[in-house]
Amino acid sequence: MMIKYDYIIIGAGLFGSVFAHEATKRGKKCLVVDKRNHIGGNVFSDEIEGINVHKYGPHIFHTSNQRVWDYINQFVEFSRFTYMPIANYNGELYNLPFNMNTFNKMWGTITPDEARLKIEEHRASHKTDAPANLEEQAINLVGVDIYEKLIKGYTQKQWGRLCVDLPAFIIKRLPVRFTYDNNYFNDKYQGIPIGGYTKMVERMFDGVEVRLGVDYLANKQNLDALAKKVIYSGAIDAFFDYRFGELEYRSLQFENEILDTDNYQGVAVMNYTDSETLYTRIIEHKHFEFGTQEKTVISREYPMPWSRGDEPYYPVNDDKNNVLYGKYRELAALESNVIFGGRLGEYRYYDMDQVIESALQLAESELL
Ligand code: UDP
C-alpha cells in the first residue's frame, strides 16, 4: 500500500480537529478517522426540534487563554451564555457555584463576613491542614452543611465511589466566592458556539478528509500503512490492548425526551444533589442558546460504571490509575511514529480549552 498522507488522525473530536486544521493549513495531507458516525467527539451537538442538543452532556466553553479564545472564534461566533446551574436538594434550590446566594439560602447570612464565620463554624470540627481526599477538601472549603447537601450525593453518584476515596483536586474545579455572583466559571471568556458545536468542528475540518464509522484499532495495520505518522486521541490503554490492565473511566447514559412545553425547568442545567435520585442532572438544551422553539428537549444524565465497549467520559485520576497511566506512558514513548493527545490519549480531566491549547502546542512543535 502507498503512503498517501502525512498524518492519520484518530478521533474527530477537539484534539483531532485542531491538529488536522493546523496541519492542513501548513500544507500537510491528513486523514481523520473516527469510529463513531459523527464528528466532534463528545462535543457533538445534534439538532432536534430546531434545538442543538449536547449529545454527550452539557459543554460550556470557557477559557482565560487569549490564544485559544481567538483561535476558536475564527470558526464560529460565541453567544453570551453564562453557566449558572441550580442545585436541587430534595426540592430545596441553591445557586451554584458556592457563593453569597448559596450561603444566604443555606444560613440566612447577608454579608461576606457572616458567611465566612458560618463556614468557619461548620468546618471547625473537621478541618484538616492537608486535605487528602475530596471529602476533606470540600469540608475545608465550604463546611459540613454545604458538603452534605450539595456535594456529597452528587459526587458519589457521579464517580460511583465515596468522597473519601476521590482525589481532592476534583472539587477545586468549582469556585467558592464571597460575592453574589452565580457564574460557574472564573474565566475571562465564556459562551456557546452559535449554531452548535458540530458546526464549529465542521468548519475546522474544512478541506480535511474525514472517514466516519472506522474503527482504527480493528484496522490498525492497514490504516498505519497509509500515513507517515499517527496522531492518536483514543484511549491509551486500548491502544496497547490493555496490556497492563484497564485504566478506570466513568461513563454516562442520557435519557432524552422531547416535551410539548416551551420551558420545562427555566435553566440549562439543574443538578440533583441528593443521593436517591439516580441521575445527576437534567439538561434543557434550548436554554444554552436562549431558544424560543415551541417544544423543548431535556436529557437526564445517569452516571455509569465503565467497562470495555462503553463510552469513556471521565478519567478517574486517582493515585492508582495515575500510576498505571505512567506505565502506558512509558510504552507510548517507545512508539516513535505515534503521538498521543486529548482527554483519552493523555488520560487527563481536560477541559475543552486545555485540549485546544495542547493541540496547538503539538502543532507548533510538530509542524515545523
Ligand atoms: N460537584 C458537586 N455538586 C454539584 C456539581 C459538582 O459536588 O452540584 C462536584 C462533583 O464532585 C464534580 C465536581 O464538582 O465531579 C466537578 O464538577 P464540574 O461541574 O466541573 O464537572 P463536569 O462539568 O466536568 O461534569
User: Quick check: bond before 305 cis, omega within 30?
Assistant: no
Atom 10 (ligand 1) nearest CA? 155
Residue of 216, 250, 325, 347 marked catalytic: 250
**Is the pLDDT score of 284 beyond 90?**
yes
Q: Copy the grid coordinates of residue 69.
A: 479564545
Q: Which of 179, 157, 177 is closest to 166 using CA atoms?
A: 157
Q: Which of 210, 211, 245, 221 is closest to 327 using CA atoms?
A: 245
| DSSP notation for 55-79 | TTS---EEE--HHHHHHHHTT--B-
Compute, in angstroms, the gap from residue 171 CA to the centroid of ligand 1: 7
Active-site residue flag, 250: yes
SS3 359: helix
What pLDDT does 317 receive? 86
Q: Is the beta carbon of 87 within 6 A of some atom in ligand 1? A: yes
Q: Summarize pLDDT for 229-252 with one digit per residue, the tens.
A: 999 999 999 999 999 999 999 999
Q: Summarize pLDDT for 316-342 with one digit per residue, the tens.
A: 988 999 999 999 999 999 999 999 999
Interhelix angle 66-73/352-366, nearest 10 degrees: 90
Q: Is the beta carbon of 17 within 6 A of some atom in ligand 1? A: no
Active-site residue flag, 300: no
Place of cell 428537549: 297
Among 137, 144, 170, name the best residue to mutate to test ligand 1's pocket (greatest count of ligand atoms within 8 A of Cβ): 170
Q: Is the beta carbon of 252 within 6 A of some atom in ligand 1? A: no
Residue of 177, 232, 272, 353 marked catalytic: 177
Which of the 8 DSSP states describes residue 17?
A: H
**Sign (positive or negative) of CA dihedral 29, 330, 342, 69:** negative
- CA-to-CA distance for 330 and 217, rounded, in angstroms? 20
Place of cell 442520557: 254
Q: Is the beta carbon of 158 within 6 A of some atom in ligand 1? A: yes
Query: CB neighbours of 318 closer than 8 A, spacing ≥ 6?
Result: 165, 166, 167, 248
- Residue 1 pLDDT level (bands cut at 50, 70, 90): low
Among 60, 150, 171, 183, name the best residue to mutate to test ligand 1's pocket (greatest count of ligand atoms within 8 A of Cβ): 171
Average pLDDT over residues 202-226: 97
What is the model's pTM?
0.95
Q: Is the beta carbon of 88 within 6 A of some atom in ligand 1? A: no
Q: Summarize pLDDT for 107-134 with one digit per residue, the tens.
A: 999 999 999 999 998 887 777 788 899 9
Q: Is the beta carbon of 133 within 6 A of some atom in ligand 1? A: no
How far, in Å, are 70, 77, 291 from residue 206 at the CA level?
Answer: 18, 17, 28
Place of cell 500503512: 225
Q: Is the beta carbon of 362 within 6 A of some atom in ligand 1? A: no
Place of cell 478517522: 33
Query: CB neighbours of 173 closer than 8 A, spacing ≥ 6?
Result: none
What pLDDT does 112 receive? 98
Active-site residue flag, 177: yes
